[in-house]
Structures are given as structure tokens and as C-alpha cells.
Chain A
Amino acid sequence: MSSNPHENAPSLAVLHELFASATHDASAAMCRWTDGLITVTLDEVRQLPLEEAIDALDVGDDLVTMVVLTLEGEVGGNLILVFDEANGRRLAASLLGRDADLESEWSEIEKSALTETGNILGCAYVNALTRLVAPQLIPSSPYFLQDYGASVLEQALMAQAVACDDLLVCRIAFCRKGQELDWRVIFIPNQGMRMALEQAVHSAP
């Protein structure tokens, strides 16, 4: 039995094109949300071996601040926004129109600003992916998480690892006035979403 049921995997270039279109919508939403300050660009769509995935996604083994949005159901996945502590605080502060406080505990309003950012980005991707692959995608409420980035990614990757050893991931970068920031969004489709994406690619003109 093959360890890789994706022997007819579609061209990553085509998938890149599909995600670039979704990212365009997400960027417009992000730009509106941050009053023109922040945009997002598609960094890469990549297929990589399970054992290399965590290193390749470069989240390190330190504590990071994350907002996780899960697309539930057979065709789903996880969208994970990853910030280091200082940058997460700065984004929340800029959204709230105040100076960043790097010392105290996260307040509920700061968490809310960050999860709303996840919601806006997530909904933009959900809308674009729904047009592409499925009639119904059901996003969870985004939730705020402070944990080891590798631990969270590991669990998100399980949704593909149950079926194959090579994983499809999509990485998106944040930009402030054209300059790339050290924040990122990682979208990890589950196995159903991956198959739906592949079908969409095959039926693309």
C-alpha cells in the first residue's frame, strides 16, 4: 500500500493560484479592518513530509500567541494566526488605538481585538474556499491561545497525517505598508478539503 494517496497530486502552481485569489479577498478585508495599515500576501502553498513539517513552518518551540479558527466538517481545516508576544500585543494595541502594554496580562478587549482579526481573515478565506470547493464550510468561533506553536501545528496537521505522509499547507504573510512582518497565517486543510481542492484544480479551466 502506498504511503501517499496523492500520487496524482495537482500542480502546486495551480493551488497557489487558487489560494492567491482567496488571499486577495482576505487582504482587502484585512486592509479595511486595520484602516489601511495591514495587508496579507500568499507566501507559499507547499507539500512537505510529515517529519519535516514543523521545522519547515518555522514556528519554533517557544510560546507564541495564536488565534485558531477551525472549519468543521468533512471538508474543513484549521486557520492559525501566529504572533510572537510583542507583535500580537502591538497589533491588538493598534486596533484599539492605544499604546502597546507588553508587561501586563492580556486583557479581554485585547484578546477580542485579536480574535476578531482571525474572524475577519477566516471569513474571507471561508467565502473564497466555499466558492471553490464546497457548498458549506462551517467556521468555529476563533479562539485565543498561548501555547507552543509546534504543539498547536502538530494537532492541526493530524487531520492530514491520518491519511498520508506528505502534507499540504498554505502560508500567508502579513505586511505593513509593503514591509513583511514577523506574523503569519497558516492554513492546514483536512483530508476532505485537500481532496476537494484537488478536484477543483482538476476541473479548473
Chain B
Amino acid sequence: MHTTLSATGAREIVVNMGHIALGRGDDRLKAVLGSCVGLAVYHPRLKVGALAHVVLAESAGRDGAPGKYADTAVPHLLKLLAEWNVPAHGLTAKIAGGANMFGTSGPLQIGDANVHAVTRALRAAGIRIAGKHVGGPSGRRIVYECASGRMIVQQAGKPEQAI
């Protein structure tokens, strides 16, 4: 992960594949997504956000960074938030990504599977999905604003959208 500091002390954190980052206040969490899913969780009262860059749907008992798999990313994200004294109650989620960039001829149609797995894991944790921007054939750049819980999504050739 790369972190840069603004003049005001707010952090801008680039969240790489398999990583999870937490931010608060004016911090901004960023990722570039293809078939991966950017899973952001937000606590509106505490203004704390977290972003996981989920790569694959199921860990199936494999080791690896907890943020890599949907089924391990959600519990680990909750654990990290608890370390910041953020309760699980009241959290909302936004998700983006899960593209199938190589169409039907590609090696894997993994984007859809990732979206379904993240949705399932959030449901199991009792976290409501407040917004999503998923699927399709194009990549996305996302910026998650911890102050507002707003996720800004950019796609090639399309106007920027906020969810």
C-alpha cells in the first residue's frame, strides 16, 4: 500500500490487491479494479471507513492475505474496525468492480463470482449494501472518502459517478 499525506494531514492510501486499509476523517482510500471487488465499509457516526481489495471469492482453506478472499476479507475487516473501537452495528457497505474484462472468451469469468461472494459475506455479517457499481467489461478507478462514505467511481470513457 502507498500512503501519501496532504497538507492538512489527511492520508491518501492506495489499496493493492489483497490488502485492507482503514481511514477516518478526510482520509481517502483508492484502488484500481478489474475483476476484483472494492469493498468499502463505513460507520457514519464515527466517520471511519475501510476498503478491502478482494481478489477471489473463496479461500477454501488456503493461506494468504485475509483481504484476498471475500469470505475472509469481511470478518478480518470487522476485526480491524473493532481494533479502532468501531462496532459492527450500524455499518453500511458499498461495492464496486467485478468486471469481466476479457468477455466470454477469457480464462476465467471471475468478476461475477467475486461480486456474489462479497454480497453473500456481507449478508452473513448483517451489513447492508448501500450502493454498488459492479459488472460490465471495463475497469474502474475508485476513491472512497472516509468523511462522507462516498465512493467515486471512474470508468474509461464514462462520466465519473458517486455512489
Majority secondary structure of chain B interface residues (helix, strand, loop or mixed): loop
- Give the Cβ gap from A36 to chain B, nearest Cβ, in Å: 33
- Residues from 3 to 50 in B contacting A, C-beta threshold 8 Å: 16-19, 32-36
- Give the Cβ gap from B62 to chain A, nearest Cβ, in Å: 6
Chain B residues near A104 (CB, 8 Å)? none
Q: Known contacts A3-B63, A63-B156; decide if A158 and B35 are in contact (CB<8 Å).
A: yes
B108 interface residue, CB < 8 Å from A?
yes
Closest B residue to A165 by beta carbon equals B64
- Give the Cβ gap from B35 to chain A, nearest Cβ, in Å: 4
> B156, A154: Cβ atoms under 8 Å?
no
> B141, A51: Cβ atoms under 8 Å?
no
A2, A148, A159: which contacts B108 (Cβ < 8 A)?
A: A159
Give the CA-CA distance A52 to B16 in the complex, in Å. Answer: 7
> A151, B32: Cβ atoms under 8 Å?
yes
> A3, B62: Cβ atoms under 8 Å?
yes
Chain A residues near B139 (CB, 8 Å)? 147-148, 150-152, 154
> A152, B64: Cβ atoms under 8 Å?
no
Chain A residues near B105 (CB, 8 Å)? 70, 72, 140
> A158, B107: Cβ atoms under 8 Å?
yes
B106 interface residue, CB < 8 Å from A?
yes
**3 closest pairs, A vs B, by CB?**
A151-B139, A151-B34, A154-B34
- Residues from 115 to 161 in A contacting B, C-beta threshold 8 Å: 140, 145-148, 150-159, 161
Give the CA-CA distance A190 to B62 in the complex, in Å. Answer: 19
- Give the Cβ gap from B13 to chain A, nearest Cβ, in Å: 14
Q: What is the 8 Å Cβ interface bit string for chain A, positions 161-198, against chain B (1 contact, 0 not)?
A: 11001000000000000000000000000100000000
B147 interface residue, CB < 8 Å from A?
no
In the complex, besides A154-B139, A161-B55, A165-B65, 12 extra interface pairs with C-beta distance below 8 angstroms are A2-B63, A53-B17, A54-B17, A150-B32, A150-B139, A151-B99, A151-B139, A152-B139, A155-B110, A159-B108, A161-B56, A190-B107
Q: How many residues of B contact A (CB 8 A)?
A: 34
A61, A76, A158: which contacts B110 (Cβ < 8 A)?
A: A158
> A54, B32: Cβ atoms under 8 Å?
yes
Q: What is the 8 Å Cβ interface bit string for chain A, positions 1-31, against chain B (1 contact, 0 not)?
A: 1110000000000000000000000000000
> B55, A50: Cβ atoms under 8 Å?
yes
Give the CA-CA distance A52 to B17 in the complex, in Å. Answer: 8
B68 interface residue, CB < 8 Å from A?
yes
Give the CA-CA distance A70 to B62 in the complex, in Å. Answer: 27
A41 interface residue, CB < 8 Å from B?
no
- With a 10 A CB-CB cut-off, give which of A55, A152, A158 has the most chain B CB atoms: A158
A68 interface residue, CB < 8 Å from B?
yes
